[in-house]
Amino acid sequence: MKTYYNSEDLKKFGNIGEFSKELADKFFDYYGSVFKEGALTAREKALVALGVAHAIQCPYCIDAYTKDTLEKGCTEEQLMEAVHVSGAIRGGASLVHGVQMMNHTKKIMM
């Protein structure tokens, strides 16, 4: 069955250099540096990535960072808490616009 997303494509991520090597090299170099241990641990960064993956709903990133966080020693509870942080921010982002709706309502209504 044809689908827009194919889990096999995740393995081919590196192939994006085929059409533009210089930019791909720069991106992957940057990507590698971002995820190194720094002020945040590699594990903390992986959990942030898992949360972001859910916020942007990227199936490749969800697969990759589910495995990565587990391999970095996170528990199932920690993974789910990261997903809830993502959900809270997404939900909050919608709800905070309620203030804009209220402001506008109050402006145009008596």
Partner 1 sequence: MKSLKAQAHHLSNSAAQLKVLNEGSFEQFSQKLKAINLFPLKPTRIQTFQVNLGKMCNQACKHCHVDAGPDRKEIMTKETMQQCIDILAHYDIGTIDMTGGAPEMNPNFRWFVEEASELGKHIIDRCNLTIILANKKYHDLPEFFAKHKVEVVSSLPHYTSTRTDRQRGSGVFDRSIKALQMLNSVGYGKEGTDLQLNLVYNPTGAILPSSQKTLESDYKKELKNRFGIEFNSLFTITNMPISRFLDYLLVSDNYDEYMQKLVDAFNPSAAEGVMCRNTLSIGWDGTIYDCDFNQMLDMKVNSTSTHISEFNLESLENRNIAVDQHCYGCTAGLGSSCGGQTA
Q: Which is nearer to partner 1, 67 or 104 (CB)?
A: 67
Residues near partner 1, by CB under 8 A: 41, 43, 67, 70-73, 75-76
End-to-end CA distance of the chain: 56
Note every long-range contact of 4-9, with CB atoms under 8 Å and residues 24 or more positions apart, other chains counting: 5/59, 5/60, 7/59, 7/60, 7/63, 9/60
CB of 35 to partner 1, least distance (A): 14
CB of 100 to partner 1, least distance (A): 44
Q: Which is nearer to partner 1, 80 or 89 (CB)?
A: 80
